[in-house]
């Protein structure tokens, strides 16, 4: 475990040395959830591993253990890189460092207690799987209970290294889902994909939670960004947050004219509503920061050069 952390720390140090005079905002990892889930539980992303019994397009693996091991390594690698930066480079380079996480927002399918608890578990297994160790030094209680011995444990030294290992959190938010409690699976097989005991749906009583993007998973739910920001503020001591990704994709419809294709009013609506809820979150005390852009001389030159066109 230390070997992988050290490799990542060496890579990070090279970046600090080469770019630290210009880069003032460092994010160690972008969406580590994506690596762990899609790379080792579902197998749709590199390296394409998952349990063979799932009968997915993967090349072997164990979806009951590998996603958790991968996340464990990623968190320790992140903490090692942050420790190095803070101890050796931060004061002289005057920068900040954090990590970028991704999460949906989960609404209970109904007001039943079981479904409300399921929505929180869904958040535990996607978002708090990463942010909880960075603030408390351990995984969420629901994960420790449901995953048991398959979930790696941090040593006291590792927990100490993890706690507070960020100056800011980057947040990628796109979609919302309804969550309901799933009956206990009595199958002999276990997988990260079912460990949470949650069923996710884009509809409630036949009514969608929001419109769809081109990606099947992208259920447009602008209020979710506010709910996620306020939840993070309340539970994790109001950290500085950057919205690092947000947006909606669309189908490439070759039948549309150029004028029709350029008229993406739905995207304007998407950003308008999401930014409304971000502003509401700020008004309610969320520490949201933004990077100030300073165009260089070449940018002004390009602007002037392109005017005739």
* Residues designated catalytic: 31, 245
User: Contact, 31 vs 102, CB < 8 A?
Assistant: yes
C-alpha span between 84 and 29 (Å, rounded):
15
Contacts of 55 (CB under 8 A, 6+ apart): none
User: Contact, 169 vs 242, CB < 8 A?
Assistant: yes
CA dihedral sign of residues 139, 31, 161, 8: positive
User: Contact, 178 vs 200, CB < 8 A?
Assistant: yes
Question: What DSSP letter does each residue of 293-307 carry, written as one string?
Answer: P---HHHHHHHHHHT
Element (H, E) at 265: helix 265-283
User: Contact, 87 vs 157, CB < 8 A?
Assistant: no
């Amino acid at each position: 475990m230390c070997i992988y952390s050290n490799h990542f720390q060496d890579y990070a140090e090279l970046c600090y040395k080469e770019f630290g005079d210009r880069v003032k905002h460092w994010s160690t990892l972008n969406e580590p959830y994506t690596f762990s889930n899609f790379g080792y539980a579902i197998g749709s992303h590199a390296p394409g591993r998952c349990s063979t019994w799932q009968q997915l397009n993967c090349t072997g693996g164990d979806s009951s253990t590998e996603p958790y091991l991968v996340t464990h390594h990623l968190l320790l690698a992140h903490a090692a890189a942050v420790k190095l930066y803070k101890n050796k480079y931060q004061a002289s380079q005057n920068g900040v460092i954090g990590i970028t996480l991704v999460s949906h927002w989960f609404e209970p399918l109904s007001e039943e207690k079981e479904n409300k608890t399921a929505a929180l578990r869904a958040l535990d297994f996607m978002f708090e799987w990463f942010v909880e160790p960075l603030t408390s030094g351990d995984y969420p209680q629901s994960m420790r209970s449901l995953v048991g011995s398959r979930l790696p444990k941090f040593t006291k030294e590792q927990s100490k290294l993890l706690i507070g290992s960020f100056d800011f959190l980057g947040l990628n938010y796109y979609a919302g889902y309804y969550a309901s409690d799933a009956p206990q699976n009595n199958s002999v097989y276990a997988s990260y994909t079912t460990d949470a005991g949650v069923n996710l749906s884009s509809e409630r009583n036949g009514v969608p939670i929001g419109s769809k993007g081109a990606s099947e998973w992208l259920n447009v739910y602008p209020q979710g960004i506010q709910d996620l920001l306020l939840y993070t503020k309340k539970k994790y001591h109001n950290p500085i947050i950057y919205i690092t990704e947000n947006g909606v994709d669309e189908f490439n419809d070759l039948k549309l004219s150029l004028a029709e294709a350029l008229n993406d009013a739905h995207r304007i609506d998407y950003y308008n509503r999401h930014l409304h809820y971000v502003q509401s979150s700020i008004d309610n005390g969320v520490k949201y920061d933004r990077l100030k852009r300073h165009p260089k001389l070449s940018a002004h030159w390009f602007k002037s050069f392109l005017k005739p066109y």
